[in-house]
Structure 1
Amino acid sequence: MKTETSIKKIAIVGPESTGKSTISAQLADYFQSVWVPEYAREYCAALTAPCTRQDEINMFRGQLELETQILPQANKILICDTTFITVKIWSDHMFGESPREVIDELPKHPYDLYLLMDINLPWQEDPLRDFPHMREHFMEVWHNELKALDATYYVISGSNKERLDNAIEKIDSFLARS
Protein backbone atom coordinates (compact mmCIF):
# COMPACT_ATOMS: atom_id res chain seq x y z
CA MET A 1 0.00 0.00 0.00
CA LYS A 2 1.23 3.47 -0.86
CA THR A 3 1.84 5.81 2.00
CA GLU A 4 2.33 9.54 1.93
CA THR A 5 6.02 9.03 2.74
CA SER A 6 6.58 6.60 -0.14
CA ILE A 7 5.38 9.20 -2.66
CA LYS A 8 7.62 12.20 -3.29
CA LYS A 9 5.62 15.42 -3.45
CA ILE A 10 6.85 17.91 -6.05
CA ALA A 11 5.39 21.42 -5.75
CA ILE A 12 5.19 23.64 -8.82
CA VAL A 13 4.99 27.19 -7.47
CA GLY A 14 5.47 30.80 -8.45
CA PRO A 15 3.79 34.07 -9.32
CA GLU A 16 0.80 34.38 -11.61
CA SER A 17 1.15 33.50 -15.29
CA THR A 18 4.36 31.50 -15.04
CA GLY A 19 3.10 28.26 -16.60
CA LYS A 20 2.50 26.25 -13.41
CA SER A 21 -0.57 24.38 -14.64
CA THR A 22 0.91 23.66 -18.06
CA ILE A 23 4.16 22.25 -16.68
CA SER A 24 2.33 20.31 -13.95
CA ALA A 25 0.33 18.41 -16.56
CA GLN A 26 3.44 17.86 -18.71
CA LEU A 27 5.48 16.55 -15.78
CA ALA A 28 2.73 14.20 -14.64
CA ASP A 29 2.54 12.83 -18.17
CA TYR A 30 6.32 12.49 -18.48
CA PHE A 31 6.69 10.73 -15.12
CA GLN A 32 3.54 8.64 -15.70
CA SER A 33 1.88 9.91 -12.57
CA VAL A 34 -0.88 12.33 -11.62
CA TRP A 35 -1.03 15.98 -10.73
CA VAL A 36 -3.09 17.98 -8.28
CA PRO A 37 -4.69 21.00 -9.94
CA GLU A 38 -4.85 24.37 -8.22
CA TYR A 39 -7.99 24.22 -6.08
CA ALA A 40 -8.21 28.02 -5.87
CA ARG A 41 -8.71 28.36 -9.64
CA GLU A 42 -12.14 26.69 -9.66
CA TYR A 43 -13.04 28.16 -6.29
CA CYS A 44 -12.30 31.74 -7.40
CA ALA A 45 -14.03 31.22 -10.75
CA ALA A 46 -17.23 30.46 -8.83
CA LEU A 47 -17.03 33.51 -6.54
CA THR A 48 -19.71 36.15 -7.01
CA ALA A 49 -18.15 38.69 -4.64
CA PRO A 50 -14.59 39.75 -3.76
CA CYS A 51 -12.48 37.12 -2.05
CA THR A 52 -12.64 37.18 1.77
CA ARG A 53 -10.42 35.82 4.52
CA GLN A 54 -12.88 32.93 4.88
CA ASP A 55 -12.51 32.19 1.17
CA GLU A 56 -8.74 31.98 1.66
CA ILE A 57 -9.24 29.48 4.51
CA ASN A 58 -11.64 27.50 2.31
CA MET A 59 -9.04 27.41 -0.47
CA PHE A 60 -6.36 26.25 1.99
CA ARG A 61 -8.58 23.40 3.18
CA GLY A 62 -9.67 22.55 -0.35
CA GLN A 63 -6.09 22.31 -1.63
CA LEU A 64 -5.11 19.94 1.17
CA GLU A 65 -8.23 17.81 0.64
CA LEU A 66 -7.59 17.60 -3.10
CA GLU A 67 -4.00 16.46 -2.52
CA THR A 68 -5.23 13.81 -0.08
CA GLN A 69 -7.79 12.55 -2.61
CA ILE A 70 -5.32 12.33 -5.51
CA LEU A 71 -2.29 10.98 -3.60
CA PRO A 72 -3.34 7.28 -3.80
CA GLN A 73 -3.29 7.52 -7.62
CA ALA A 74 0.34 8.74 -7.71
CA ASN A 75 3.15 6.71 -9.20
CA LYS A 76 6.30 7.48 -7.15
CA ILE A 77 5.76 11.25 -7.36
CA LEU A 78 2.80 13.57 -6.95
CA ILE A 79 3.00 16.80 -8.94
CA CYS A 80 1.19 19.64 -7.15
CA ASP A 81 0.15 22.67 -9.19
CA THR A 82 0.87 25.17 -6.43
CA THR A 83 0.45 24.65 -2.69
CA PHE A 84 -1.43 26.36 0.05
CA ILE A 85 1.58 28.64 0.56
CA THR A 86 -0.22 30.62 -2.12
CA VAL A 87 -3.01 31.25 0.40
CA LYS A 88 -0.45 32.71 2.80
CA ILE A 89 1.06 34.92 0.10
CA TRP A 90 -2.30 36.22 -1.12
CA SER A 91 -3.66 36.71 2.40
CA ASP A 92 -0.56 38.66 3.41
CA HIS A 93 -0.91 40.82 0.31
CA MET A 94 -4.69 41.33 0.31
CA PHE A 95 -5.47 41.38 4.04
CA GLY A 96 -2.13 42.27 5.64
CA GLU A 97 -1.81 38.90 7.40
CA SER A 98 -2.41 35.19 7.00
CA PRO A 99 -5.03 33.15 8.81
CA ARG A 100 -3.50 31.51 11.91
CA GLU A 101 -4.73 28.11 10.74
CA VAL A 102 -2.65 28.43 7.55
CA ILE A 103 0.47 29.60 9.40
CA ASP A 104 0.19 26.73 11.88
CA GLU A 105 -0.24 24.11 9.15
CA LEU A 106 2.59 25.23 6.83
CA PRO A 107 5.42 23.33 8.57
CA LYS A 108 3.20 20.23 8.92
CA HIS A 109 2.78 19.81 5.15
CA PRO A 110 6.22 19.86 3.53
CA TYR A 111 6.91 19.02 -0.06
CA ASP A 112 10.01 17.09 -1.01
CA LEU A 113 10.98 19.44 -3.82
CA TYR A 114 9.75 22.82 -5.01
CA LEU A 115 10.17 24.08 -8.56
CA LEU A 116 9.77 27.86 -8.60
CA MET A 117 8.63 29.00 -12.03
CA ASP A 118 10.47 32.10 -13.22
CA ILE A 119 8.67 35.20 -14.47
CA ASN A 120 10.46 35.24 -17.83
CA LEU A 121 7.41 34.00 -19.78
CA PRO A 122 5.12 36.68 -21.24
CA TRP A 123 2.09 37.60 -19.15
CA GLN A 124 -1.09 35.80 -20.27
CA GLU A 125 -4.35 37.61 -19.61
CA ASP A 126 -6.83 35.67 -17.52
CA PRO A 127 -9.85 36.94 -15.55
CA LEU A 128 -8.46 35.27 -12.41
CA ARG A 129 -5.09 37.05 -12.59
CA ASP A 130 -4.67 40.41 -10.93
CA PHE A 131 -1.11 41.69 -10.77
CA PRO A 132 0.82 41.80 -14.05
CA HIS A 133 2.79 44.78 -12.75
CA MET A 134 3.90 42.98 -9.56
CA ARG A 135 5.59 39.87 -10.93
CA GLU A 136 9.05 40.79 -9.60
CA HIS A 137 7.57 41.52 -6.17
CA PHE A 138 5.80 38.17 -5.99
CA MET A 139 8.87 36.33 -7.27
CA GLU A 140 10.83 37.78 -4.35
CA VAL A 141 8.02 36.84 -1.96
CA TRP A 142 8.17 33.24 -3.21
CA HIS A 143 11.93 33.13 -2.68
CA ASN A 144 11.47 34.43 0.88
CA GLU A 145 8.67 31.98 1.71
CA LEU A 146 10.62 28.98 0.44
CA LYS A 147 13.75 30.07 2.30
CA ALA A 148 11.70 30.53 5.50
CA LEU A 149 10.56 26.90 5.16
CA ASP A 150 14.14 25.80 4.50
CA ALA A 151 12.74 24.19 1.36
CA THR A 152 14.72 22.46 -1.34
CA TYR A 153 13.88 24.44 -4.44
CA TYR A 154 15.11 25.41 -7.88
CA VAL A 155 14.11 28.25 -10.17
CA ILE A 156 12.92 26.95 -13.53
CA SER A 157 13.44 29.39 -16.42
CA GLY A 158 13.43 29.45 -20.19
CA SER A 159 10.93 28.89 -22.94
CA ASN A 160 8.16 26.35 -22.42
CA LYS A 161 10.31 23.51 -23.84
CA GLU A 162 13.39 24.61 -21.87
CA ARG A 163 11.31 24.81 -18.70
CA LEU A 164 10.06 21.30 -19.15
CA ASP A 165 13.56 19.99 -19.84
CA ASN A 166 14.97 21.88 -16.83
CA ALA A 167 12.18 20.65 -14.55
CA ILE A 168 12.63 17.03 -15.66
CA GLU A 169 16.37 17.30 -15.06
CA LYS A 170 15.86 18.69 -11.53
CA ILE A 171 13.29 16.01 -10.65
CA ASP A 172 15.44 13.21 -12.08
CA SER A 173 18.43 14.48 -10.11
CA PHE A 174 16.35 14.74 -6.94
CA LEU A 175 14.93 11.23 -7.38
CA ALA A 176 18.41 9.80 -7.97
CA ARG A 177 19.53 11.24 -4.61
CA SER A 178 16.41 10.09 -2.73
Structure 2
Amino acid sequence: MIKKVVVIGPESTGKSTLCEQLAGYYSTAWVPEYAREYLLKNGTNYTYDDLLIIAQGQVTLEEKHISSFDPGHEKHAALFVDTDLYVMKVWSEYVFGKCHPWILDQIAERQYHLYLLCDTDLPWVKDELREYPDLESRRELYYIYKDILVNQSVPWANISGNYEQRLQKAVKAVDEMLKQ
Protein backbone atom coordinates (compact mmCIF):
# COMPACT_ATOMS: atom_id res chain seq x y z
CA MET A 1 0.00 0.00 0.00
CA ILE A 2 1.28 3.45 -0.91
CA LYS A 3 1.45 5.85 2.01
CA LYS A 4 0.98 9.42 0.83
CA VAL A 5 2.73 12.24 2.67
CA VAL A 6 1.68 15.79 1.83
CA VAL A 7 3.99 18.75 2.37
CA ILE A 8 2.01 21.97 2.76
CA GLY A 9 2.45 25.52 3.97
CA PRO A 10 2.75 29.09 2.70
CA GLU A 11 4.88 29.91 -0.32
CA SER A 12 8.66 30.01 0.07
CA THR A 13 8.72 27.66 3.06
CA GLY A 14 10.79 24.91 1.43
CA LYS A 15 8.00 22.53 0.42
CA SER A 16 9.47 21.46 -2.92
CA THR A 17 12.96 21.19 -1.48
CA LEU A 18 11.69 19.02 1.37
CA CYS A 19 9.73 16.75 -1.00
CA GLU A 20 12.80 16.27 -3.15
CA GLN A 21 15.01 15.60 -0.11
CA LEU A 22 12.55 13.08 1.34
CA ALA A 23 12.15 11.27 -1.98
CA GLY A 24 15.93 10.99 -2.18
CA TYR A 25 16.27 9.87 1.43
CA TYR A 26 13.61 7.16 1.04
CA SER A 27 14.56 6.25 -2.56
CA THR A 28 11.07 6.92 -3.78
CA ALA A 29 9.07 9.39 -5.87
CA TRP A 30 7.48 12.76 -5.26
CA VAL A 31 4.68 14.71 -6.94
CA PRO A 32 5.60 18.30 -7.84
CA GLU A 33 3.22 21.21 -7.43
CA TYR A 34 1.14 21.50 -10.60
CA ALA A 35 0.42 25.21 -10.04
CA ARG A 36 4.02 26.15 -10.84
CA GLU A 37 3.85 24.44 -14.25
CA TYR A 38 0.45 25.96 -15.00
CA LEU A 39 1.38 29.52 -14.01
CA LEU A 40 4.71 29.42 -15.83
CA LYS A 41 2.87 28.37 -18.98
CA ASN A 42 -0.23 30.58 -18.65
CA GLY A 43 1.03 33.59 -16.68
CA THR A 44 0.44 34.84 -13.18
CA ASN A 45 -2.74 36.80 -13.92
CA TYR A 46 -4.96 33.90 -12.84
CA THR A 47 -8.71 33.83 -12.14
CA TYR A 48 -10.97 31.93 -9.77
CA ASP A 49 -11.70 29.45 -12.60
CA ASP A 50 -7.96 28.91 -13.15
CA LEU A 51 -7.71 27.61 -9.58
CA LEU A 52 -10.16 24.81 -10.40
CA ILE A 53 -8.07 23.90 -13.46
CA ILE A 54 -4.93 23.91 -11.29
CA ALA A 55 -6.64 21.75 -8.64
CA GLN A 56 -7.74 19.24 -11.28
CA GLY A 57 -4.23 19.23 -12.71
CA GLN A 58 -2.76 18.55 -9.26
CA VAL A 59 -5.09 15.57 -8.76
CA THR A 60 -4.30 14.24 -12.26
CA LEU A 61 -0.56 14.57 -11.63
CA GLU A 62 -0.86 12.80 -8.27
CA GLU A 63 -2.91 9.98 -9.80
CA LYS A 64 -0.34 9.61 -12.59
CA HIS A 65 2.41 9.16 -10.00
CA ILE A 66 0.30 6.68 -8.02
CA SER A 67 -0.44 4.57 -11.11
CA SER A 68 3.24 4.44 -12.09
CA PHE A 69 4.38 3.72 -8.53
CA ASP A 70 6.14 0.36 -8.41
CA PRO A 71 6.42 -0.90 -4.82
CA GLY A 72 8.86 -3.56 -6.05
CA HIS A 73 11.36 -0.90 -7.12
CA GLU A 74 10.71 1.59 -4.33
CA LYS A 75 12.70 1.25 -1.12
CA HIS A 76 9.69 2.43 0.90
CA ALA A 77 6.03 2.56 -0.06
CA ALA A 78 5.84 6.34 0.47
CA LEU A 79 4.92 8.97 -2.07
CA PHE A 80 5.65 12.60 -1.22
CA VAL A 81 3.17 15.18 -2.50
CA ASP A 82 4.10 18.86 -2.85
CA THR A 83 0.79 20.50 -1.86
CA ASP A 84 -2.71 19.06 -1.99
CA LEU A 85 -6.22 20.42 -2.26
CA TYR A 86 -6.10 22.02 1.18
CA VAL A 87 -3.59 24.37 -0.43
CA MET A 88 -6.03 25.03 -3.27
CA LYS A 89 -8.81 25.72 -0.76
CA VAL A 90 -6.69 28.17 1.22
CA TRP A 91 -5.37 29.87 -1.92
CA SER A 92 -8.86 30.22 -3.39
CA GLU A 93 -10.43 31.54 -0.19
CA TYR A 94 -7.51 33.86 0.57
CA VAL A 95 -7.49 35.45 -2.89
CA PHE A 96 -11.15 35.18 -3.98
CA GLY A 97 -13.10 34.65 -0.73
CA LYS A 98 -14.64 31.40 -1.97
CA CYS A 99 -13.71 27.86 -3.00
CA HIS A 100 -15.08 25.72 -5.81
CA PRO A 101 -17.27 22.81 -4.56
CA TRP A 102 -15.22 20.30 -6.61
CA ILE A 103 -12.13 21.16 -4.55
CA LEU A 104 -14.07 20.73 -1.30
CA ASP A 105 -15.49 17.39 -2.49
CA GLN A 106 -12.00 16.16 -3.38
CA ILE A 107 -10.69 17.16 0.05
CA ALA A 108 -13.37 14.94 1.60
CA GLU A 109 -12.66 12.01 -0.77
CA ARG A 110 -8.86 11.89 -1.04
CA GLN A 111 -6.91 9.96 1.58
CA TYR A 112 -3.47 10.82 2.95
CA HIS A 113 -1.40 9.34 5.75
CA LEU A 114 0.66 12.28 7.03
CA TYR A 115 0.91 16.03 6.60
CA LEU A 116 4.13 17.99 7.05
CA LEU A 117 3.43 21.69 7.68
CA CYS A 118 6.35 23.93 6.72
CA ASP A 119 6.81 26.92 8.99
CA THR A 120 7.76 30.43 7.81
CA ASP A 121 11.17 30.55 9.52
CA LEU A 122 13.17 30.17 6.29
CA PRO A 123 14.21 33.38 4.54
CA TRP A 124 11.92 34.53 1.73
CA VAL A 125 13.22 33.57 -1.72
CA LYS A 126 12.00 35.80 -4.54
CA ASP A 127 10.39 33.97 -7.43
CA GLU A 128 8.31 35.24 -10.36
CA LEU A 129 5.33 33.19 -9.13
CA ARG A 130 5.31 34.17 -5.46
CA GLU A 131 2.83 36.77 -4.25
CA TYR A 132 3.30 37.33 -0.50
CA PRO A 133 6.84 38.32 0.46
CA ASP A 134 5.81 39.96 3.72
CA LEU A 135 6.17 37.86 6.85
CA GLU A 136 2.79 39.02 8.18
CA SER A 137 0.87 37.46 5.26
CA ARG A 138 3.01 34.34 5.34
CA ARG A 139 2.36 33.89 9.09
CA GLU A 140 -1.36 34.46 8.57
CA LEU A 141 -1.39 31.72 5.92
CA TYR A 142 0.69 29.41 8.13
CA TYR A 143 -1.91 29.68 10.90
CA ILE A 144 -4.74 29.00 8.44
CA TYR A 145 -2.98 25.76 7.44
CA LYS A 146 -2.27 24.88 11.05
CA ASP A 147 -5.94 25.38 11.97
CA ILE A 148 -6.98 23.07 9.12
CA LEU A 149 -4.55 20.36 10.24
CA VAL A 150 -5.54 20.59 13.90
CA ASN A 151 -9.17 20.11 12.89
CA GLN A 152 -8.80 17.02 10.69
CA SER A 153 -7.94 13.43 11.58
CA VAL A 154 -4.73 12.73 9.63
CA PRO A 155 -1.52 12.95 11.70
CA TRP A 156 0.68 15.96 11.01
CA ALA A 157 4.00 17.44 12.09
CA ASN A 158 5.27 20.98 12.16
CA ILE A 159 8.49 21.36 10.17
CA SER A 160 10.78 24.25 11.12
CA GLY A 161 14.44 25.17 11.35
CA ASN A 162 17.12 25.23 8.68
CA TYR A 163 16.98 22.80 5.75
CA GLU A 164 18.86 20.04 7.60
CA GLN A 165 16.71 20.41 10.74
CA ARG A 166 13.59 20.30 8.60
CA LEU A 167 14.71 17.12 6.91
CA GLN A 168 15.48 15.47 10.26
CA LYS A 169 12.06 16.43 11.70
CA ALA A 170 10.32 15.20 8.55
CA VAL A 171 12.23 11.89 8.54
CA LYS A 172 11.27 11.31 12.18
CA ALA A 173 7.59 11.92 11.40
CA VAL A 174 7.67 9.77 8.25
CA ASP A 175 9.45 6.92 10.05
CA GLU A 176 6.72 6.97 12.72
CA MET A 177 4.03 6.89 10.02
CA LEU A 178 5.72 4.02 8.17
CA LYS A 179 5.76 1.89 11.34
CA GLN A 180 1.96 1.95 11.47
TM-score range, shorter chain: over 0.9
Counterpart of 1:110?
111
Pick one of 8, 11, 18 that aligns with 1:16: 11
The answer to whether structure 1 residue 148 and structure 2 residue 143 are counterparts is: no
| Alignment partners' CA distance in 2, 1:165 and 1:102 | 32
Unaligned stretches of 5+ residues in structure 2: none
Partner Cα separation in structure 1 for residue 17 and residue 36 of structure 2: 14
Q: What fraction of aligned residue pairs are identical, expressed as a percent?
A: 37
Report the CA distance between 1:49 and its aligned residue: 6.0
Q: Is the 8 A contact 1:18 1:119 kept in 2?
A: yes
Pairing of 1:22-171 with structure 2 (within 5 A): 22-48=17-43, 50-71=45-66, 72-73=68-69, 75=74, 76-133=77-134, 134-171=137-174
Q: Using structure 1 for the length normalisation, give the TM-score.
A: 0.92
CA distance in 1, matches of 2:107, 2:81: 15
- Letter paired with 2:82: D
Paired with 2:45 and 2:36, the residues of 1 have a C-alpha distance of 14
TM-score under structure 2 normalisation? 0.91
Report the alpha carbon displacement of residue 46 of structure 1 after superposing the two structures with TM: 1.6
* 1:21 alignment partner AA: S
Report the Cα offset of residue 86 of structure 1.
1.2
3-state DSSP of counterpart to 2:27: coil
Quick one: which amino acid aligns to residue 30 of structure 1?
Y
Contact 1:10 1:113 in 2 (8 A): yes
Structure 1 residue 45 displacement after superposition: 1.2
Q: How far off is 1:73 after superposition?
A: 2.1
Q: Distance in 2 between matches of 1:159 and 1:101?
A: 36
Distance in 2 (alpha carbons) for counterparts of 1:89 and 1:102: 11
Q: Is the alpha carbon distance of 1:48 and 1:32 closer, same or farther for their aligned partners in structure 2, counting shifts above 3 Å?
A: closer
